[in-house]
């Protein structure tokens, strides 16, 4: 008698949702999976909204984003900051408590496991915000080598992260009562504020290229904070904005997205993130490989491509000079600000490509002519 083998397929893990999910539904949001989360991509209500409108509102007034899918990891204990500094690339000694820092978690071969923001609370506490899909992995890497007395705690579900971005953002935070009207918070500085009896960390950071803030607040009661912000944002000519606008804004700003523009096979030097490496530090993950690549020079480098004709480049499209393939796009989109297609691309160093050169992107078999530019595509206003 023949035995029939049966294959049992495990049920897919359901996507996680922001504590503010119902608020997004009420605003007419459409959703998509991102890093294991179901997050709002764009909103449509009363004829307003959509990615282009949300993008423009952020550039000209203010956009309100829920980015609670981002990770939250607290590293605490005697010498916690020094411990983190021995692991991640950037040099924490460059900043003081009350400041945040962009840094990278690298593998020993120099590939980027994740890019993240560190909030330096003090010598014995660092709060890290990794990307959603990589948060648990970064936490495990740190916990696996943490000395006795240092705790690495995953607080992903304990907090929401909201981004208020755009030229009107200081006025929004002042009206809501999170910052005094005359408060001047330096770029990458943060303060711990109290709002209706709840702790809210307010930081002058963002992912849009605009002046803005990111808020870390308790998940419990986050809906009240969202509603208060959304009301003032609307009064100030702004809009709630989804991850679609966040992507077009960050691409115009030339900011990399992990998993596309940097990752395990894309090093900091290739992605133009060498500024986030403490080259004089004696220890951090991937140090030897990155020093060797720096001495030799990276074999490829990220450049911007701005379409000169009609068409929109997307990720993973071949870039050519004449008949020769010289690289591949990593991100691509339509730029609402420039009204043309733009892309980030990894181009071969040996090809000798420079700013102003004209290349072609293979868009489904059609050559789209593009000019090589140094990112960002739109001038940064973060400071």
Q: At what angle do helices 243-252 and 51-60 cross, to 10 degrees?
A: 60
Give the span between the Cα atoms of 63 and 43, in whole angstroms: 12
pLDDT in the model for residue 342: 98
Q: Are 258 and 338 in contact (CB under 8 A)?
A: no
pLDDT in the model for residue 7: 46
pLDDT in the model for residue 10: 58
pLDDT in the model for residue 282: 97
Please classify residue 274 by burial: count the beta carbons closer than 10 Å to its beta carbon, then call 0-12 exposed, 13-18 middle and 19+ buried: middle
pLDDT in the model for residue 47: 66
Which domains can be identified in the chain, with CATH numbers? Answer: 16-70+158-251 (3.30.1360.120), 73-154 (3.30.70.1400), 257-373 (2.40.30.110)
Q: What is the pTM of this model?
A: 0.95
Q: Is 214 annotated as a binding-site member?
A: yes
If you count them, how many residues does the chain have?
A: 383
Residue with the two structure tokens 């007395």: 149
pLDDT in the model for residue 14: 86
Residue 273: in which H helix or E strand, if any? none
pLDDT by residue, tens only, the chain of 383 residues? 333 334 445 556 789 999 999 999 999 999 999 999 999 999 986 667 799 999 999 999 999 999 999 999 999 999 999 999 999 999 999 999 999 999 999 999 999 999 999 999 999 999 999 999 999 999 999 999 999 999 999 999 999 999 999 999 999 999 999 998 878 899 999 999 999 999 999 999 999 999 999 999 999 999 999 999 999 999 999 999 999 999 999 999 999 999 999 999 999 999 999 999 999 999 999 999 999 999 999 999 999 999 999 999 999 999 999 999 999 999 999 999 999 999 999 999 999 999 999 999 999 999 999 999 999 999 999 99
pLDDT in the model for residue 1: 36
pLDDT in the model for residue 2: 37
Please give, one letter per residue, the 3-state secondary structure of 175-244: HHCCCCCCCCCCCCEEEEEEECCEEEEEECCCCCCCCEEEEEEECCCHHHHHHHHHHHHHHCCCEEECHH
């Amino acid at each position: 008698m023949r035995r029939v083998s049966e294959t049992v397929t495990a049920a897919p893990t359901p996507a996680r949702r922001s504590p503010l999910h119902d608020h997004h539904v009420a605003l007419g949001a459409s959703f998509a999976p991102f890093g294991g989360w179901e997050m709002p991509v764009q909103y449509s209500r009363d004829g307003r909204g959509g990615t282009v409108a949300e993008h423009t509102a952020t550039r000209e007034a203010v956009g309100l984003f829920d980015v609670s899918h981002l990770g939250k990891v607290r590293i605490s204990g005697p010498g916690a900051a020094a411990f983190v500094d021995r692991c991640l690339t950037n040099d924490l000694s460059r900043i003081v408590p009350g400041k945040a820092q962009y840094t990278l978690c690298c593998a020993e071969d120099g590939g980027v496991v994740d890019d993240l923001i560190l909030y330096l609370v003090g010598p014995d506490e660092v709060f890290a915000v990794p990307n959603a899909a990589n948060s648990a992995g970064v936490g495990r890497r740190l916990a696996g080598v943490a000395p006795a007395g240092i705790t690495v705690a995953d607080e992903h579900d304990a907090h929401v992260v909201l981004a208020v971005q755009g030229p009107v953002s200081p006025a929004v935070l002042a009206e809501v009562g999170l910052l005094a009207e005359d408060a001047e918070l330096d770029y990458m500085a943060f303060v711990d504020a109290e709002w209706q009896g709840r702790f809210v960390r307010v930081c002058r950071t963002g992912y849009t290229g605009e002046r803005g803030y990111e808020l870390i607040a308790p998940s419990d009661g986050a809906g009240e904070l969202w509603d208060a912000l959304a009301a003032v944002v609307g009064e100030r000519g702004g809009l709630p904005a989804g991850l679609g606008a966040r992507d077009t804004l960050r691409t115009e700003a030339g900011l990399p997205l992990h998993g596309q523009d940097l990752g395990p096979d894309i090093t900091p030097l290739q992605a133009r993130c060498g500024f986030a490496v403490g080259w004089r530090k004696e220890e951090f993950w991937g140090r030897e490989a990155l020093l060797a690549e720096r001495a030799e020079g990276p074999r490829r480098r990220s450049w911007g491509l701005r379409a000169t004709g009609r068409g929109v480049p997307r990720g993973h499209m071949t870039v050519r000079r004449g008949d020769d393939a010289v690289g591949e796009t990593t991100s691509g989109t339509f730029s609402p600000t420039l009204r043309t297609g733009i892309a980030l691309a990894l181009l071969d160093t040996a090809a000798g490509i420079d700013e102003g050169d004209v290349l072609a992107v293979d868009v489904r078999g059609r050559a789209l002519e593009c000019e090589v530019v140094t990112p960002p595509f739109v001038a940064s206003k973060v400071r």
